[in-house]
């Protein structure tokens, strides 16, 4: 132990967030291996973890996991600060904005699927806006919007169901 060592106390919160983030990163990497019909159409499996964290530990933790996942995932996949990274970041930030509101919906009527769908649509919305402003400064980008919206509908629903399932059946005892 050198005298100049800076000690950063690690709290239980940090450990929990790190564990969830690790799961999300693993899903990101696994997903990167999947072929995709169109760049940008991905299942977004890591968002299942974000949903679980949101419904279990609240928005703040979900935001940590989501943003850490984007940065660490970018590092692991090797696209950090590439256009794809910024698109992922734009998607994550807009999803988190949607989740901030969605998590306040009455839980009696609206479950994980609603929250997941709202986040998925916000995700593609944010990405399309960034792509239009920065990558493809032409309205032709919006030509692809229906395809992205279809993917958001499908994967948003599936991810929401998986998250609901994990919360109900698998994860209640892991923490």
Partner 1 sequence: MKAVLPDDLREIFSEARHESRNSGSWHKYLKAGDWLVLLVSGALVVFSYALLWRGGVADRAIVKRDGKTVIELSLNSARKARVEGPLGTTVIEVQPGRARVFSDPGPRQYCVQQGWLTRAGAVAICAPNHLTLQLNGRNADNADYDSLNY
Residues that bind partner 1 (CB under 8 A): 19, 22-23, 26-27, 29-30, 33, 105-106, 108-114, 117-118, 121, 142-143, 145-146, 149-150, 153, 156-157, 160-162, 164-166, 168-171, 174
Q: CB of 43: closest distance to partner 1 in angstroms?
A: 14
Task: Please say which residue, 97 or 147, places its beta carbon nearer to partner 1.
Answer: 147
Q: Where are the alpha helices (DSSP H) in 78-144?
A: 83-102, 112-130
Q: In terms of CB distance, is 23 or 93 closer to partner 1?
A: 23
Buried b (16+ CB within 10 A) or exposed e, 44-72: bbbbbbbbbbbbbbebebbbbbbbbbbbb
Q: Which residue has the tokens 């990167």?
A: 32
CB nearer to partner 1: give 91 or 156: 156
Q: What is the closest distance, in whole angstroms, from the C-beta atom of residue 62 to partner 1 in the complex?
A: 18
The residue (of 80 and 145) whose beta carbon lies closer to partner 1 is: 145
Task: Pull the structure tokens for residue 109.
Answer: 């009527």
Among residues 79, 66, 83, 81, the alpha carbon closest in space to that of 27 is found at 66
Structure tokens belonging to residue 149 = 């919206």
Q: Which two tokens stand for residue 134?
A: 């920065």
């Amino acid at each position: 132990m050198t005298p100049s060592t800076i000690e950063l106390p690690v709290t239980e919160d940090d450990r929990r967030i790190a564990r969830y983030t690790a799961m999300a990163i693993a899903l990101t990497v696994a997903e990167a291996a999947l072929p995709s019909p169109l760049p940008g159409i991905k299942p977004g499996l890591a968002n299942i973890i974000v949903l679980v964290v949101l419904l279990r530990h609240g928005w703040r933790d979900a935001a940590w996991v989501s943003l850490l996942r984007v940065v660490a995932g970018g590092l692991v996949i090797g696209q950090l600060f590439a256009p794809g990274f910024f698109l992922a970041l734009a998607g994550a930030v807009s999803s988190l904005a949607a989740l901030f509101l969605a998590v306040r919906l009455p839980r009696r009527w609206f479950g994980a699927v609603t929250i997941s769908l709202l986040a998925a649509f916000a995700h593609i919305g944010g990405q399309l806006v960034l792509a239009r402003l920065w990558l493809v400064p032409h309205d032709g980008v919006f030509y692809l919007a229906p395809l992205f919206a279809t993917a958001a509908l499908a994967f948003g629903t599936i991810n929401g169901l998986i998250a609901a399932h994990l919360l109900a059946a698998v994860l209640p005892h892991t923490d």
